[in-house]
Homo-oligomer: A and B are copies of this chain.
């Protein structure tokens, strides 16, 4: 028991160190050279604001589980994915999209900097992410090219863009369970997919491991989206409350108990996939397990409880 607690403390410290490295590198990659450059300021605000850093952490932990230790370019790949994630949040929050007022407990980027600067910052983050990959140290150009291809697919017409379009255009209509799962996959799983493929590329993992990680990303993304849906309606998320009101989410259709159960099934399947890629009981699995438990325990007791601390996205 004491050793279990020590393990958890070790892991917390390790995660804190990794978060610090990610934060430090993002800070270098997104310099504020000129105070009048509002686009830089908006890029920094959106990418450097305190967040879970779940994607870059997941990439770095997975790469290590795949045998890739102290890779000089991995941190940059992780930051590239976080830059894309930040850009997608800026765009999703725009008045013509979800029209969100709060993100990570602060006013959204377009409210602080104006819509035009918000859009330009998102574009610069996106295109910057590809540049970061093209210049990441310690990778062959073949690895860089594969990483660019993966990230481009995750963002584009069949990825985040399509997820956001489906969410906007079908969100208020009645949808089948399948349609909701498809949209959730595009909104969340595809970027997890790219995150894990970039880890596999850096680690020179086998094709079989890469495939297993694709399965892991699918289930993980679904679990995340369900967690997000369960959290909507609470005021302690750092985001707008009841953003999904009127949308046909799984919570609205099945109730939160059934969604909890589905979430746990996705997590179980995700663990099986991950074990195929990296073996059982790895640090990444321990991290994901602990993270979801914390979120679920926070969330479970009372859907209406307010002003509880929950790590913002």
Contacts of A141 in B (CB 8 A): 140-142, 144-145
CA distance A104 to B45 in the complex (A): 36
Nearest neighbor of A128 in chain B, beta-carbon distance: B156
- Stretch of A130-138, A225-233, A251-259 with 4 or more beta carbons under 8 angstroms from chain B: A130-138
Let me know if A127 is at the binding interface, CB within 8 A: yes
Beta-carbon contacts under 8 Å, A6-49 to B: 37-40, 43
Q: Are A130 and B148 in contact (CB under 8 A)?
A: yes
Contact partner, A134, options B116, B145, B164, Cβ 8 Å: B145
Contacts of A153 in B (CB 8 A): 131
Let me know if A75 is at the binding interface, CB within 8 A: no
Let me know if A165 is at the binding interface, CB within 8 A: yes
Contact partner, A162, options B39, B133, B144, Cβ 8 Å: B39
Beta-carbon contacts under 8 Å, A125-178 to B: 126-128, 130-131, 133-135, 140-142, 144-146, 148-149, 151-153, 155-157, 161-162, 164-165, 168-169
Most buried by B among A141, A151, A153, A165: A165
Residues 99-125 of A, flagged 1 when their CB comes within 8 A of B and 0 if not, give: 000000000000000111101101110
CA distance A148 to B143 in the complex (A): 13
Q: Are B119 and A96 in contact (CB under 8 A)?
A: yes
Rounded to whole Å, the gap between the CB of A148 and the closest CB of chain B is 4
Let me know if A94 is at the binding interface, CB within 8 A: yes
Question: Known: A116-B96, A168-B116. Contact between A127 and B152, CB under 8 A?
Answer: yes
Q: Are B161 and A124 in contact (CB under 8 A)?
A: yes
Q: Are B144 and A116 in contact (CB under 8 A)?
A: no
CA distance A161 to B125 in the complex (A): 10
CA distance A161 to B131 in the complex (A): 14
Contact partner, A130, options B120, B124, B152, Cβ 8 Å: B152
Rounded to whole Å, the gap between the CB of A51 and the closest CB of chain B is 21
Contacts of A40 in B (CB 8 A): 157
Can you list 27 pairs linking A and B with CB atoms under 8 Å apart? A39-B157, A39-B161, A39-B162, A40-B157, A94-B119, A96-B116, A116-B165, A119-B119, A120-B161, A120-B165, A123-B123, A123-B126, A123-B161, A124-B156, A124-B157, A126-B126, A127-B155, A128-B152, A128-B156, A130-B148, A131-B148, A131-B153, A133-B148, A141-B142, A141-B144, A141-B145, A148-B148
Extra pairs beyond A39-B162, A141-B141 (5, CB < 8 Å):
A96-B114, A123-B123, A127-B152, A127-B161, A145-B145
Instruction: Pick the 6 closest A-B CB pairs, nearest first.
Output: A131-B152, A141-B141, A127-B155, A96-B115, A134-B149, A134-B148
